[in-house]
A and B are shown apart, each in its own frame.
Chain A
């Protein structure tokens, strides 16, 4: 299933370039140091797994890459746009045009059907797929008019993926996409991601604390306590169907 030719890694021009990222935020009465100086390059088309334990800072990193959050210090740029320090309008435009998100708890709008959840994004995108097309891509062509509450966890996550890819984003950021799912359902979701990565060529970043998933990546980046502690390139990607945990 691996087809490196379809997603060539362009070593020369990274899609994301991050230098010296730190992030400190307050939560209630506690100060949390989520990132403590992260340097990172991510390239178009590659499938990257960010591996780390809970609290290692991987979600924060993903949020900053996706323009959801601003670093306390350091720099991030993407395709020539400096994200760190950009204003809310610029970040919104960046997210609207370039980024697709998939969250651990799907974060579907419960009051909208599968189709409407996807439409939410296609309505504001520039050259999107049709919602039913995106849902067909994740194997949900027959559940268009179901509300989230009528779908299983795996189905909900696939709706979330359809929602993320429907705008044909340059980058797909997935935060623990299988975290709330059992192994079989999780694999089905990963298959969908794998297929999207292959077919659309979107840079796909998957956060997980599940080391098994790392096997399907081009590169695995390990985070611990706000630092990158290792970057490995897999010699060969293991197809999602062969994963189990």
Chain B
């Protein structure tokens, strides 16, 4: 091995503490990047494969009831390649031994003449043969421990029907099995079931008819044109509007997840790359200063500028490559963990998580990027350093009175504090970057805690202020006021507030959005809409209230007039003024007074369902009674919803907080420890001199610790600001009409972030304390400057 290589390895060994501190940050960065990249890759690739192999449809449409004969017309629409008529229906399910209300979606399976879109992947068992046989979704089967041969009961059109599980399957249409309107899946309370078309049609009185369409398009088709043609065709049959994949629920959630992964990859990569580069910059900068004479000697003996620069370049590369493999390992570990977590939410027949070679390249790219960003300056100095100049000692650093002193606070601080301040102010850029680096650690923690806090807040607002009902009952068909009276008469029901929902398309200029128009009781208390200050707004006698996000989407303000096209009933289109906006975090909606909605629809006093307040002890009995009422379509239980929401999120939030805390701590320790080592290296002589002059060990410690503490404390406020900024970025990246995370922060989140980073500072300080205490007073003074 060449002598320079010996030097390389020994320098590395000498720098091991700092190399490890940098590696810690790089491992974190590469780990996060690899985790996000591999999962992005796994999710998108698997989805594409799954969609392709199991023939996921491209356009979807729902109607009330259309004759099968219409299918010919649908197939004749230019751009339609294949069309499959289906029966899809919501049902209530009863699973033996499970008392909670369970809703299900029954989907018909393709018949012999059908193109076979949205095919099932059968995990076990077989497709249904008999009328009462169903295939059930895997998640639902797992939640209730159902297997082929298990039995359950469905309430179909008010009739209880016993069903037998013939198999367990998965569909590209329900990768994310979520009940429409929910935010997180609840596999126990919502299930998807597949049944033979004929059997299902018969059960729903849809013989010779269909209520759902799935289509694929020709290569050159324009989706919008097909959708327009379909809407026109289906309108007479109660069509509620066709849509492409982007509005298909499962597909949308996956898209959101992928977008989130993208945001996360970018954000974390930038942060960690920046911090790694900064640390490398400081360490290499210091190393070049410390080895000026060695560089000079090498050049003096005839090593060219390139030889010497390459040597230091190799040192840098060795330093950064330390983090690559552990980073990949961490990324692989976290990536597989995340993939497992995904597998519980996103039901694929298989999730092909892998570590493709390009991820390794990306990790190397990260390391090289950090090296290039951080050390180009230092290596250029090595290159430029003239050997003669390097043989002379460096000019003494120029100290000036600090800003604080100019400002007149100098008298207020003691000499030790003045030394600390002058040292920090002497290298303003480095101090600033240290503060930013530590601040990023603080920021990551603030962001992590923000997520937890914000979700709590969303829950609090949603379930504490807006949704205060115990049960929501939906009728199978719009019902009269008597239905509400009947509900009120049930034992244990304290209050009934009926509502009217209608599918609408809202149009403003060229913008349009399909949603449900909710008709609220004039004076209700169970379901309220809130303004930005969380003050309930009563539904206006005339006009609409829109979710603020929807108002933005449609570019309307209170006072503007919207075109409201009803997609049901008489399918009227009316012009309606917007009178206000409401603040909502989940979904987007339009609200009006119930009577007003019915007037717009041109119907009498019709009800879609009702919100109920009940006596807690009457719950089970009431649920049983409700299940038996033929007109009751679905019952949603607020308590159960809250529980499943918290359960699901608690797990995710805990994982995310844990990872973020690790990341933030690695950054904080990386930055603080390096700052400490560099300060010690640069000022060891000075500190030793102070000891010789009679300063006690504690006083000298206080100088170094004071500097570190000053940096960390100074980083708190900017760190909080960075955290708020990153959270805002995250919120912006994640906002959609599905949900918006409110930008709210809790003092606890800031406090925790501050404490973790200060603790990291203390740990780093303890790590260097031994070195500080071990300063050899005599030796330090004997060696030349």
Q: Are B301 and A120 in contact (CB under 8 A)?
A: yes
Q: Is B396 on the interface with A (CB-CB < 8 A)?
A: yes
Distance between A115 CB and nearest chain B CB, rounded to angstroms:
9
Q: Is the CB of A119 within 8 A of B3?
A: yes
Q: CA of A25 to CA of B389 in the docked complex: distance in angstroms?
A: 9
17 sample A-B contacts, Cβ–Cβ < 8 Å, listed by A number? A28-B395, A63-B388, A68-B387, A92-B304, A95-B300, A97-B302, A101-B301, A103-B391, A105-B784, A107-B293, A109-B7, A111-B6, A111-B7, A112-B6, A121-B302, A123-B3, A124-B303
CB <8 Å contact, A124 and B391: no
Query: Smallest CB–CB gap between B310 and chain A, Å?
Result: 13
* A139–chain B nearest beta-carbon distance, Å: 21
- Closest-by-CB residue of B relative to A160 is B297
Task: Report A13-69 residues with CB < 8 Å from chain B CB.
Answer: 25, 27-29, 59-60, 63-64, 66, 68-69
CB neighbours (8 Å) of B145 from chain A are none
Interface membership of B4, Cβ < 8 A: yes
What's the interface size class on A, roughly?
A: 35 or more
For residue A155, CB closer than 8 A to chain B, the reply is: no
B370-387 interface mask toward A, CB cutoff 8 Å, 1 = contact, 0 = none?
A: 000000000000000011
Question: Given A63-B388, A68-B391, A124-B302, list of 9 further CB < 8 A pairs?
Answer: A64-B388, A68-B386, A68-B387, A95-B299, A96-B301, A120-B298, A123-B3, A124-B303, A124-B307
- Asked if B296 CB lies within 8 Å of chain A CBs, one says yes
- Smallest distance from the beta carbon of A79 to chain B beta carbons, Å? 16
Q: CB-CB < 8 A to A111: which residues of B?
A: 6-7, 10-11, 14
Task: Given A101-B297, A101-B300, check contact A112 B388 (CB 8 Å).
Answer: no
Identity of the chain A residue whose Cβ is nearest the Cβ of B392 in the assembled complex:
A27
Evaluate contact between A95 and B11: CB separation under 8 angstroms: no
Instruction: Flag if A96 contacts B302 (CB, 8 Å).
Output: yes
B305 within 8 A of A: yes
- The size class of the interface chain B forms with chain A is 20 to 34
- From the candidates A29, A60, A109, name the one contacting B294 in the complex (CB within 8 A): A109
Q: B: which residues have CB within 8 A of A?
A: 2-4, 6-7, 10-11, 14, 293-294, 296-305, 307, 386-389, 391-392, 395-396, 398, 784
> A10 CA to B294 CA in the complex, in Å?
35
Q: Give, as a whole number of angstroms, the nearest-CB distance from B156 to chain A.
A: 81
Question: CA A103 – CA B11 in complex, angstroms?
Answer: 22
Inter-subunit contact B398/A69 (CB<8 Å): no
Across-interface contacts of A112 in B (CB, < 8 A): 3, 6-7, 10
Query: Is A232 in the interface zone, CB < 8 Å from B?
Result: no
Give the contacting residue for B305; candidates A69, A92, A121, A123; CB below 8 A: A92
User: In the complex, which residues of chain A have a beta carbon less than 8 angstroms from the beta carbon of B388?
Assistant: 60, 63-64, 68-69
> Chain B nearest CB: distance from A183 CB in Å?
19
State whether A103 and B10 are in contact (beta carbons under 8 Å apart), knowing that A28-B396, A95-B302, A123-B3 are contacts in the complex. no
Q: Is the CB of B297 within 8 A of A68?
A: no
Q: How far is the CB of A144 from chain B (nearest CB, A)?
A: 13
Closest residue of chain A to B386, judged by CB?
Answer: A69
A59-B298 Cα distance, complex, nearest whole Å = 18
Which of B6, B307, B398 sits near A29, CB closer than 8 Å? B398
Q: If the complex has contacts A28-B398, A68-B386, A92-B305, are A107 and B296 also in contact, measured as CB distance less than 8 A?
A: yes
Do the beta carbons of B387 and A69 come within 8 Å of each other?
yes
Distance in angstroms between the alpha carbons of A64 and B11 in the assembled complex: 30
In whole Å, how far is B4's beta carbon from the nearest beta carbon of chain A?
7
Residues of A near B305 (CB, < 8 A) are 88, 92
Q: Which of A66, A97, A101, A123 sits near B2, CB closer than 8 Å?
A: A123
Chain B residues with CB below 8 A from A99, complex form: 300, 302
State the CA gap A59–B296 with chains docked (Å): 14
Taking CB atoms and an 8 Å cut-off, the chain A residues in 83-110 that contact chain B are 88-89, 92-93, 95-97, 99-101, 103, 105, 107, 109
Q: Does A132 contact B (CB under 8 A)?
A: no
Residues in A with CB closer than 8 Å to B300 are 66, 68, 95, 99, 101
6 smallest A-B Cβ distances: which pairs? A96-B302, A69-B388, A28-B395, A111-B10, A63-B388, A68-B388
